[in-house]
Chains A and B, each alone.
Chain A
Amino acid sequence: MNVMIEATKLTKVYQMGDEQVHALRGVSFAVQKKDFIAIMGPSGSGKSTMLHIIGCLDRPTAGELFIEGLNVQEAGGNKLAEIRNQKIGFVFQNFNLMAKATAVENVELPLIYAGIRKRERRQRALAALERVGLSDRIKHRPPELSGGQRQRVAIARAMVTEPAFILADEPTGALDTTTSGQILDLFAELNDEGNTVILITHDPTVAQRTHRIIELLDGRITRDSSRNGVGA
């Protein structure tokens, strides 16, 4: 099974008093295993909304969503939490690390919710930190790390559960150009190793390094490079 995500006519409507805000107006796409996708589009076009829905943090107002063949619509709250824990790795623009916990403790967190025992947890967290090149910073706490290092810890945390795909909302948005490049290199390497990666970016140079670009405008997909390139 090579289809990771299958989204059909996803819509999201926010009710703001009397007004309806249409964040997504029927978005359809599929994500294959090993895809490396950039989602682009102007501010307010619905990128984050879409990412939250395929990340099972939010439910669509209408439409269908399958993750590895599983109908997300039918899943309850606990099941969604389980999907997030086991199938999805999140990377955020502002890292969202536990400030008082060490790097390795941060990386262990999703494994705690997965119910994995302490010894194995520690081993896997250390391996993940080694993978992102932070073996010498395992006892550092986030405030003692640079922005790039923090984002590496966050990436290690996202991949430590060996998820089906990694979702990153502007992962380089808070970093300078050089560091952004390094973080992007890391995503590219992870993708080479077989990981599916979907990231939101405003930066065309970042987008260029991915294999597929989905462009959103006003809640609709205006361009999907795989359709143009491969599918069309």
Chain B
Amino acid sequence: MNILETMRSALWSLQSNKLRSFLSMLGIIIGVAAVVGIVSVGLGAQSSVLDMVSALGSNLIMISPASTVARGGSVSGDAVDLFTVDLANHMQETVHNMSLVVPQVQGSGLLIYEGANLRATLVGTTPSYPEVTNYHVQTGRFLHELDVENATPVVILGSRIAENLFGQANPIGRELTYVVGDRRHSLTIIGVMESKGQVLMGNYDSQVYVPISYAMERILRTQTVSTLMAQAISAEAASTAVGDAEFLLYSRLGTTDGFNVTSQDEMLETMGDVAFTLQLMLAAIGGISLVVGGIGVMNIMLVSVSERTREIGTRKALGAKRRDLLMQFIVESLALSTSGGAIGMILGVLIAKAVSDFGGWATSIEGPALAIAFTFSALVGLVAGVYPAMQAAKLDPVLALSHE
């Protein structure tokens, strides 16, 4: 009996038991769909996270006080005090591998314009902010040195804020009110930023930007800044710049605890690692469900062998060799699992598509992932089929024929 006949008769046998075949495939279908879906979503998420990190700016270095768990997650006192505008200026002057160091403070409050109001994150910063973050004004202008020197009450709106408050109208020159606690600040709009979309740590488009001096002295009333964003002079200089900054902070603090200096490359690396680990874990879960599916297939094959004992006896009486029966059941098991694999693949792709269409997540369907999932399902079918097939092949024909 040749392989083509064996395949034909295997498919025929599965077809004549459609519901059961489907049910026993279910484990494999779910396993493969899970692997394909999860890996696609995972790969998509990974690349979009990496995009977000890249979108932060170019050769960016983030310098901030570290939150120490020992103090209940609050920021270490000494380090916080160290983060001032002066530190930013000092760093810019002394660290030659950094072309720009931009201090930044953040606060949250309510924007009011003619009865409409909107909660917004306020960012106090300096004129170099657009260059470091690679994020520029769309209309009007960004901050000038004079705005910082004089602490002028001006504001640049994120694109979404502008759209929500003003729609299509031109907001430049208008006044809005920013409320923090019981203090009201009247701010003149001088610009609107371009749209940047979601980046790693929030959405730039729903922030507003004011001179750092005004933000610190008048709005937030603080002496310290939350973050320094620096730009290395080149990609190659980035790690040296990180070292320089760390040394500078160490010489001030006398310890390496209490602050974080992270280059964009390091962020990319960390994010990549996290995404990879996550994906591996999810794929492993999918793999486990494949194995469970394989056990399902094996179970159904064992049931099939035992309830077709008479058929097996008859086939032997008609001249089937051990090899024929071995092949018959292995091919049946393979047909089950690969059909399940194929259905699962389609389902997984559909899931990934649904996630990207309705969830707005990026997904990435990769050929190798599909191939691996399918191969794995075939492998599972092979392994699951061997034992039942051996049981069938070694049946004694006389006993098999007299089986009730």
Contact = CB atoms under 8 A, between A and B. Distances in A.
B398 A85 contact: no
Interface in A139-186: 157, 161
B398 A84 contact: no
A113 B1 contact: yes
B321 A77 contact: yes
B281 interface: no
Contact of B398 (A57, A101, A109, A161): A57
Given A52-B398, A78-B322, A84 B317 contact: yes
A114 interface: yes
A113 B322 contact: no
Nearest to B324: A113
Interface string A79-104: 00110111000101000101011000
Given A96-B314, A100-B16, A113 B398 contact: no
Contacts of A113: 1, 315, 318-321, 324
Nearest to B9: A112
Nearest to A57: B397
B319 A110 contact: yes
Given A57-B401, A92-B401, A100-B16, A112 B5 contact: yes
B319 A82 contact: yes
Interface residues of A, number: 25
Interface in B301-319: 310-311, 313-319
A55 interface: yes
Contacts of A58: 397-398
B318 A85 contact: yes
Residue from the set B2, B12, B316, B318 with the largest chain A CB neighbour count within 10 Å: B318
Nearest to B319: A85
Contacts of B323: 78
A96 B401 contact: yes
A184 to B, nearest CB: 22
A104 B114 CA distance: 87
A90 B321 CA distance: 16
B398 to A, nearest CB: 5
Nearest to B308: A98
A231 interface: no
Interface in A90-145: 90, 92, 96, 98, 100-101, 109-110, 112-115
B318 A110 contact: yes
Contacts of B12: 101
A114 B314 CA distance: 15
Nearest to A154: B314
Nearest to A118: B5
Interface string B52-84: 000000000000000000000000000000000
A98 B16 CA distance: 11
Contact of A55 (B2, B314, B317): B317
A34 B9 CA distance: 35
Given A58-B398, A157-B318, A96 B310 contact: yes
Nearest to B13: A100
B321 A57 contact: no
A96 B323 CA distance: 21
B316 A81 contact: yes
Contact of B1 (A77, A90, A98, A115): A115
Residue from the set B310, B315, B317 with the largest chain A CB neighbour count within 10 Å: B317
A43 to B, nearest CB: 14
Contacts of A57: 316-317, 397-398, 401
A124 B64 CA distance: 87
Contacts of A55: 317
A202 B5 CA distance: 40
Interface in B256-296: none
A78 B324 CA distance: 10
Closest 5 CB pairs of A and B: A85-B319, A113-B319, A100-B16, A110-B318, A96-B314
Given A110-B319, A113-B321, A157-B318, 13 more contacts: A57-B317, A57-B398, A57-B401, A77-B322, A78-B323, A81-B322, A85-B319, A90-B318, A96-B313, A96-B314, A100-B16, A112-B1, A113-B1
Interface of A: 52, 55, 57-58, 77-78, 81-82, 84-86, 90, 92, 96, 98, 100-101, 109-110, 112-115, 157, 161
Interface of B: 1-2, 5, 9, 12-13, 16, 310-311, 313-324, 397-398, 401
19 contacts: A57-B316, A57-B317, A57-B401, A58-B398, A77-B321, A84-B318, A85-B318, A90-B317, A92-B314, A92-B401, A96-B310, A96-B401, A100-B13, A109-B315, A109-B318, A110-B318, A113-B1, A115-B2, A157-B318
